[in-house]
Structure 1
């Protein structure tokens, strides 16, 4: 595995188009919207690629039959050099990689345990790709569109961006507030004057906008995430964007919220969880 210099990221533009699963996070790295990392088998003529997004998502794709690259990747996956300090979630393409990894990782590949972050085991999970059913969305929207005087929804500005805390917030998907305000979009819901939930564009490429959502613990269970997401979905529909939703299948909250908003499960793919200690 060789680190690819940023000046050569354009070499992945065409190969990445072959990936038919959700690859927006990988495009954000390749197009230098965020500062990630790219590894390849050969810097001059790459055929196998590994893209790491700073949020902790990665994509392994290209030729799965490169023995030297695969052995180097195994060391990375098991964190033998100790460079990974957080959990990383990896997608692969094509699906041929699943058999290659099963053979490569052997006993290190396990069913989900959810609790440990050991670097000597890789958990095989499932990631769901959704597609919005516009009719379902509009019907569902009527059910939670009631006016609540305690709620106000505003376009997220730089001040709100910088004040947001949490795990799934724009800060983890954009380099800085200025980049986000200029290239992204979000809607923040305030409940009794307090920031309760924000739906934001994690990635925007061409006519696709992938949604992220953060609702603070004190405000969960009030249906606020639906309202915040609805504002962003409406923005997408009004401005010619396809709203994109994807999540881990065992992320029950995100999975159910997607369905409630009219998204339908259209594809399930392998999702590898790599630990760090």
Structure 2
């Protein structure tokens, strides 16, 4: 097993395919927009690599390539077992959150490493522009009593204080302001809802939304998501939606905004 230097991260792109290319935050590690580590079986300039393990700064894991790679798989187990003792961004004894985990790997983990594995199937959506209807508001709408603002250098610290996802998904606030975008809803000067681009990769934008508990049920998520979608469409980008299967409000909102179910896939939280 080899741990790649950042300059070599692009070598794992050859392992992206129809089954795994829809993970924007995986690709954010490859493109250095989010901190992470990449382990491969080999680094051959001619053949590339055959198997790879990617772990980002939040402990989100992805496996790419061949699963019948016994020597590499043994090393993967060692990486997972030593996860809690890793230094830097991967410390703090956080669980591993494995996106797209296969039946093979889930079985291997529970048999050889731990039985503390919690499954949270997720739904992947695809955006249908023809089904999209603007869910925002106009300035003439007297029923809307809040202010919407784009996240800028002037208010980004306030946005981070409301929701640290900007720092989690981007290397720094400067990187977010340079490559990402987002909006906030304010009640007077208090942020009550926020929607950001969790990633911008290959012309696709992963949407992340949070509304304060006391303000939910007022349609703010739809309004702020619409503003983000409008920004995507205006810049020729494709909005992306992804959520846990049992998150009914998120699924309903996705459908209202023109997203259609593409497939269900596995996610497991692994406590070692």
Band the TM-score falls in, shorter-chain normalisation: 0.7 to 0.9
Secondary structure at the residue paired with 1:154? strand
Aligned equivalents of 2:19, 2:263: Cα separation in 1: 14
Q: Which residue of 2 aligns with 1:141?
A: 135
The offset of 1:50, in angstroms, is: 1.1
Is 1:248 the counterpart of 2:252 in the alignment? no
Q: 8 Å contact 1:129–1:268 — kept in the other structure?
A: yes
The aligned residue for residue 90 of structure 1 is: 98
Structure 2 residue 164 is the aligned partner of structure 1 residue 161: no
Report the CA distance between 1:185 and its aligned residue. 0.9
Q: Residue by residue, what CA displacement relative to the aligned partner does 1:214-270 show, whole Å, maximum 9, x if unpaired?
A: 212232222111111110011112221110011222334433332332322111111
Give the conservation status (yes or no) of the 8 Å contact 1:34–1:54: yes
Runs of 4+ with deviation above 6 angstroms: none
In the alignment, which residue of structure 1 is the partner of 2:57?
A: 54
The 8 Å contact of residues 129 and 267 in structure 1, kept in 2 or not, is answered as yes
What are the residue-to-residue correspondences of 1:1-277 with 2, within 5 Å? 1-16=1-16, 19-44=19-44, 45-78=48-81, 82-83=85-86, 85-92=93-100, 98-107=102-111, 120-138=115-133, 141=135, 146-163=141-158, 164-166=160-162, 169-275=165-271
Separation in 1, partners of 2:150, 2:127: 22
Provide the C-alpha distance between the structure 1 equivalents of 2:119 and 2:10, rounded to a whole number of angstroms: 31
Gaps of 5+ in 2: none
Unaligned runs of 5+ in 1: 110-118
The SS at the match of 1:222 is: coil
CA contact (8 A) 1:75 1:81 kept: no
Instruction: Give the drift of 1:210.
Output: 1.1
Is the partner of 1:190 in helix, strand or coil? Answer: strand
Distance in 1 (alpha carbons) for counterparts of 2:155 and 2:107:
47
Are the equivalent residues in 1 in contact too, given 2:162–2:191 (CA < 8 A)?
A: no
Could you tell me the TM-score, scaled by structure 1's length? 0.82
Give the superposition deviation at 1:81.
Answer: 5.7
Deviation, structure 1 residue 207: 1.9
Shift of 1:3: 1.9
CA distance, structure 2, for counterparts of residue 265 and residue 158 of structure 1: 36
Root mean square deviation of aligned Cα: 2.6
Q: CA deviation at 1:102?
A: 4.3
Give the SS at the match of 2:132: helix
Shift of 1:75: 3.9
SS of 1:148's partner is coil
Q: Is residue 168–residue 214 contact of structure 1 (8 Å, CA) maintained in 2? A: no
1 CA distance for matches of 2:210 and 2:181?
14
| 1:38-58 per-position Cα deviation (integer Å, ceiling 9, x unaligned) | 111224452111112223322
